[in-house]
Amino acid sequence: DGGITQSPKYLFRKEGQNVTLSCEQNLNHDAMYWYRQDPGQGLRLIYYSQIVNDFQKGDIAEGYSVSREKKESFPLTVTSAQKNPTAFYLCASSIQTGTGNQPQHFGDGTRLSIL
């Protein structure tokens, strides 16, 4: 079955540590996205990528970094510069049409906590 796989499901970060969240999709989608979900705040866009080897900052990119070396993969690194990383992180993908009328498909998230 096609879908998006996020790993790990739970992750703990120590002070001063960088951690990387994995996101893999086999839907052959061009566009991929990373969101942060906090209670009562909905989803906020961290980074997005519309094509391999290219990505753009979203609304809350500070303290995060990404790469897009393969179409299927869009890993997110939460750096030590992100002072409040505790959240639920969601990866999504969509068909790239340029019209904005395609829904996004989501993984089941990674819950990151501070040790």
Partner 1 sequence: AQSVAQPEDQVNVAEGNPLTVKCTYSVSGNPYLFWYVQYPNRGLQFLLKYITGDNLVKGSYGFEAEFNKSQTSFHLKKPSALVSDSALYFCAVERGDDKIIFGKGTRLHILP
On whether the CB atoms of residues 89 and 21 are closer than 8 A, the answer is yes
Q: How many angstroms separate the Cα of 9 from the Cα of each of 5, 102, 109, 111?
A: 10, 27, 6, 6
Q: State which of positions 29-48 bind partner 1 (CB under 8 A).
A: 31, 33, 35, 40-43, 45, 48
The reply to whether 104 sits near partner 1 by the rule CB under 8 A is: yes
Cα 67 from Cα 73, distance rounded (Å): 8
Q: Which of residues 64-93 bind partner 1 (CB under 8 A)?
A: 90, 92
* Binding residues vs partner 1 (CB under 8 A): 4, 6, 31, 33, 35, 40-43, 45, 48, 50, 58, 90, 92, 94, 96-109, 111
